[in-house]
Amino acid sequence: MKRKIIYITLVILFAIAVTILTNSCASQAKEKESAVEAEQQKAEQEAEQNQNGDASGSSADSTTTGGTYQEGTVAGTAPAVKDTADAETNQPAAQKKYVTITVSCATIYDNLETFDKAKREILPGNGLIVSATKVEISEGETVFDALLKVTKDKKIHMEYVSTPLYKSNYIEGIGNIYEIDAGPLSGWMYKVNNWFPNYGCGRYVLKEGDNIEWVYTCDLGRDVGGDWNEQNK
């Protein structure tokens, strides 16, 4: 009887131990399962957040990029250029400026006895190497620039000595007629609006409408109305 009681007690204790162990394992399994589920949920949430963040970032980048493009290329830069072009188109073109230039050696006909006989055949019949011609000028251009343009355009010989340091351009010959060809006091002079300047043609800055005359003198300007000695006193 006593053994039976002990046996029953052991069975009961064993059953209790098994129950406790089973419950403990089940509890641990449940906790582990819960932990796994929690980790999965956390991972899913993080993935979702990252996905939302990327989508938001991509959207923001797209918007920013699109905004930059729209502002810089379509709504900003391009229209600005177009507006400028339109403004330039609507503005009147810069008015061209002209001067008139003449080159004459008519005084030589009054001094043929002193003029180089070998060159008489090149003298123009009316004394004009260049008849009154309009020449377009730019801002800051000089009497020399105008002479250079007209002789190049008309393919007329012109020879000069240039001294850039002093902005000096001394005209030696035009149309193959040189200084001293009509005597020791002969050479080329210029006047603008009927005035003989007392400085070089490379320093006389022109303005719209100026009338330039290059004239050949046989007497230091006295025979053309511009005494060189008087001007340089």
Q: Contact at 8 Å (CB) between 182 and 116?
A: yes
The length of the chain in residues reads: 233
pTM: 0.60
The DSSP H or E segment spanning 110 is: none
pLDDT at 191 > cutoff 70: yes
Q: Please report which confidence band the pLDDT of residue 93 belongs to, taking 50, 70 and 90 as the band edges.
A: low
Query: Whose CA is closest to 102, among 220, 199, 198, 194?
Result: 194
Residue bearing the bigger pLDDT, 80 or 195: 195
* Residue 53 identity: G
**3-state DSSP percent of the chain in helix, strand and coil, to 5:** 50, 20, 25
If you average pLDDT over residues 111-117, what whole number do you get?
95
User: For the chain, what is the mean pLDDT?
Assistant: 77
Residue 94 is predicted with a pLDDT of 74
Residue 18 is predicted with a pLDDT of 55
Q: Contact at 8 Å (CB) between 101 and 146?
A: yes
pLDDT at 223 > cutoff 60: yes
